[in-house]
Amino acid sequence: MHLVCPAGNLPALVTAVAHGADAVYVGFRDETNARAFPGLNFNEADLRAGIAHAHAHGRQVYVALNTYPGPARIRDWEAAVDRAAMLGVDAIICADMGVLDCAARRHPHLPRHLSVQGSATTHAALRYYRERFGIARAVLPRVLSLQQVERLCEQDVVPLEVFAFGSLCIMVEGRCQLSSYVTGASPNRHGVCSPAKFVKWEEGPGGQRSVRLNDRLIDRFEPEEPAGYPTVCKGRYDVSGEVFHALEEPTSLNTLDLLPRLAAAGVAALKIEGRQRGQAYVAAVTRTWRAAIDRLATRPNDWQVDAQWQRDLARHAEGHQTTLGPYHRSWH
């Protein structure tokens, strides 16, 4: 299984390569990717340097063009496809059919991966994308159970990539409207959930901090309480007099315990979420998953999870807690 790791900038890319990533995925500094935070992502010079570094070490670089253009801006996404091809990336990761169609026509030899934002959850959908746009791989949404992933692998329509670790989204990939509802800007169309320009922190009595998104109160934190980046889905709300995480608790997906079963199913690649995270996260998570994958390859019969692996991952988990998410559902 390939290990696909995030890089929000050139130092993170170098770090991912140094700690064992088989491929690194990145984005341009615009709304063509779903992590369009200020100060994040690559200009052409940095990406050219990153590709050269990765290729010198036998690794690959994928560019995420995984947002949905509006009709007035499709040319920007088409230009991004051309730029990725010109720079010599190893694959592009796309969600929109128009962008996939453009890439297939203009650059037929550039591998096309279907983004998780494409939300393909059936073998029929995967077959359509393969036959119509020639996709070389598909990233499965994080709403499927392990049994559903195994059944899709059995169909062998295209090589499949699954998320292994990182921030967990409980919404239907590519279909969430929560950020749009509060701010008018969507991660699917504008490249970021909860854009920074709408985020406002306020200091209260005794050091209590409140965070608002477009003037809507999302959460309050005590002085010693860790505060994550505010998104609508992970806020705390007053529901019938009780304040709690009504939609989703801050937590990270961690499928390390499922690694042998994912390998046996035939999963082609494991993806680490976190292009918005720093070098320490990239280093620790990449190193841990590299060690786990390599041990499974060399010692499949007596493989077991190393307790230190889990401790290292827990330190970098959102909310300092992890879950198997929908993977562990017993119902389908």
DSSP letters spanning 44-81: HHHHHHHHHHHHHTT-EEEEEE-S---TTTHHHHHHHH
Domain shared by 111 and 201, yes or no: no
- Of the three residues 220, 244, 268, the one that is the final residue of a domain is 244
Ranges of residues in the chain whose predicted pLDDT is under 70: 170, 330-332
Q: Are residues 155 and 9 in the same domain?
A: yes
pTM: 0.93
Residues 59 and 141 in one domain: yes
Report the domain count for the chain. Answer: 2
Q: What range defines the domain where residue 105 resides?
A: 2-168+251-328
For residues 34 and 119, membership in a common domain is answered with: yes
**What confidence tens digit (pLDDT) does each residue in 60-115 have?**
999 999 999 989 999 999 999 999 999 999 999 999 999 999 999 999 999 999 99
Q: In degrees rounded to 5, what are phi and psi of residue 210?
A: -115, 145
Can you give the pLDDT at residue 50? 98
Whether residue 130 is contained in a domain is answered as: yes
Express each pLDDT in 165-175 by its tens digit: 998 776 777 77
Q: How many other CB atoms sit within 10 Å of the CB of residue 184?
A: 11
Residue 258 belongs to a domain with what CATH number?
A: 3.20.20.70
Whether 141 and 269 share a structural domain: yes
Distance of CA 213 to the CA centre of its chain: 22
Q: What b-and-e string marks burial along 80-106, b requiring 16 or more CB atoms within 10 Å of the CB?
A: bbebbbebebbbbbbbbeebbebbbee
Query: Do 114 and 219 reside in the same domain of the chain?
Result: no
Task: Give the distance from CA 6 to its chain's centroid.
Answer: 8
- 222 within some domain: yes
